Amino acid sequence: MHDAFLIAATGLHAQQQQIESISNNLANLTTPAYKRSRVTFGDLVQPARPHGADPLPGVSTPQGAGVALVQHQRVFEAGELRRTAEPLDLAIQGDGFLEVALPDGARGFVRGGTLKVNADGLLATAAGWALKPGIGIPEEAQALIVSTTGRVQVQMSHQARPVEVGQLELVRFTQPGGLAALAGNLYRATEASGEPIGGRAGEAGLGTLVQGALEGSNVKLSDELVQLMVAQRAYEASIRVIQVADEMQGLVNGLRR
């Protein structure tokens, strides 16, 4: 009977993680370029074998019983593009990420967003992370132009034609779901995601850049609410298992008297 309590406890913990993931998705329903998170679970049932027999050589035997978190990953389905007409808003239509330079020297990756010129005069994200390769924007620039292939130009007051100041490139991953998510829709590569593969926008399976637009969140309200109801029912079922196990334990204790 003690096992019933432990199994039900794993169920409660698993559904609590599911509810937390859904809550975070719902909270970011309107966050630009947000990618919904998804949790997957696996059972911990111990393989059946004769009583007292040793485990089979070379076979890994899971410990305990119940359910456990197997994976917590991001789903990189494309969100809807929203036109803003703001020249510093940049979205990626299709697969790919922009690379940014983080303060600790590490490589970070974002799905576009609202840009700005940072204190060093470089084109950067709203959080101040400079886009790579570094693209300097002159102080006297009056307008910024980004082509679908990543060509960056500025319009100067004393020149009739725009001046090219750099070229943005995109990167992709073989397993983007393995990226580690950080704050501010920032991602880092992991062993699960693989190393970034760079290229020009519009080539080698990479998407294109869209100036004056933002990618919306890929969270679907109806789907999340359905998943929330399923998680709540599963949570209630685990509570019921604990209640029944407690009642049965009480009956056993009564028989002993």
Residue 44 has a pLDDT of: 77
Mean pLDDT throughout 152-178? 89
Mean pLDDT throughout 135-158? 89
Residue 247 has a pLDDT of: 79
Q: Where are the beta strands (DSSP E) in the chain?
A: 37-43, 67-74, 81-83, 89-93, 97-101, 107-110, 113-117, 123-125, 130-131, 141-146, 151-156, 163-167, 170-172, 180-182, 186-188, 197-199, 208-211, 213-215
> How far does CA 107 lie from the centroid of its chain?
16
Question: Looking at the domain assignment, is residue 55 inside a domain?
Answer: no
pTM of the model: 0.76
Q: Both 192 and 238 in a single domain?
A: no
Residue 46 has a pLDDT of: 59
Q: Both 122 and 186 in a single domain?
A: yes
Question: Looking at the domain assignment, is residue 40 inside a domain?
Answer: yes
Residue 89 has a pLDDT of: 93
SS3 (DSSP) at 164? strand
pLDDT digits (tens, 9 = 90+) for 192-230: 889 999 999 988 889 999 999 999 999 999 999 999 999
Q: Both 85 and 107 in a single domain?
A: yes
Q: Both 227 and 182 in a single domain?
A: no
Question: Looking at the domain assignment, is residue 148 inside a domain?
Answer: yes
Question: Are the CB atoms for 192 and 174 separated by under 8 Å?
Answer: no
Residue 62 has a pLDDT of: 47
Q: Both 16 and 99 in a single domain?
A: no
Question: Looking at the domain assignment, is residue 28 inside a domain?
Answer: yes
Question: Looking at the domain assignment, is residue 58 inside a domain?
Answer: no
Residue 50 clears pLDDT 60, i.e. is over it: no
- The Cα–Cα gap between 67 and 46 comes to 11
Q: Both 173 and 134 in a single domain?
A: yes
Residue 85 has a pLDDT of: 87
pLDDT digits (tens, 9 = 90+) for 71-130: 788 888 889 999 998 999 999 999 999 999 888 888 999 998 999 999 888 999 988 899
Q: Both 106 and 32 in a single domain?
A: no
Q: Both 185 and 206 in a single domain?
A: yes
Question: Looking at the domain assignment, is residue 54 inside a domain?
Answer: no
Top mean pLDDT of 45-49, 53-57, 217-221, 244-248 is at 217-221
Question: Looking at the domain assignment, is residue 57 inside a domain?
Answer: no
Residue 176 half-sphere exposure toward CB, CA atoms < 13 A: 21
Q: Both 205 and 116 in a single domain?
A: yes
Q: Both 98 and 210 in a single domain?
A: yes
Q: Both 95 and 139 in a single domain?
A: yes
Q: Both 179 and 207 in a single domain?
A: yes
The total domain count for the chain is 2
pLDDT digits (tens, 9 = 90+) for 79-91: 999 999 899 999 9
What is the domain extent for residue 250? 2-46+63-76+219-256
